[in-house]
Amino acid sequence: MHGSKSYENTEVWNDARNLTKDVFNATKNLNMKGEYFLQNQMKKSALSILSNIAEGLERDGNKELIQFLSVAKGSAGELRSQFLVGYDTGLISQDDFQRLHAKVVSISRQLSGFMRYLKDSEMKGRKYQGKV
């Protein structure tokens, strides 16, 4: 994954982009009306996942990339928790919960695998190879 010309070419970023779109659409749901705090938090968490993946990939160094992927993974956990609150309180349907929860769990696993790969990799990013 690392070494792509652009973060837009990575699977995990594209999955996070689709999740963000789904979260924005799901929070338009009539059941969410009046729950602006939860709606906004879900949107912010989804955007944080997407944005931190992009920012980390733009940094060109594995240490920084791992740091930003870790923040993105934390935001994925936050979003899973918010989905549970939405489901438990009847603001999110069971179908939406299952679909969105599965997507964020998949992204979290991708982030874990990506971080593990980077930690084990001898390639430390363009920044450390004088190729910036």
**Model pLDDT for residues 83-126, shown as the tens digit of each residue:** 999 999 888 889 999 999 999 999 999 999 999 999 988 766 65
> What digits encode the pLDDT tens for the residues 41-90?
999 999 999 999 999 999 878 899 999 999 999 999 999 999 999 999 88
Determine the Cα–Cα distance for residues 16 and 131; give it in Å rounded to an integer: 28
* Residue 12, number of CB atoms within 10 A of its CB: 23
3-class secondary-structure state, position 132: coil
Average pLDDT value for residue range 29-42: 78
Tell me which CATH code domain 7-129 carries. 1.20.1440.60
Between the alpha carbon of residue 56 and those of residues 4, 64, 72, 106, the distances in Å are 13, 6, 9, 19
Per-domain residue ranges of the chain: 7-129
pLDDT at 129 over 80: no
pTM for this predicted structure: 0.85
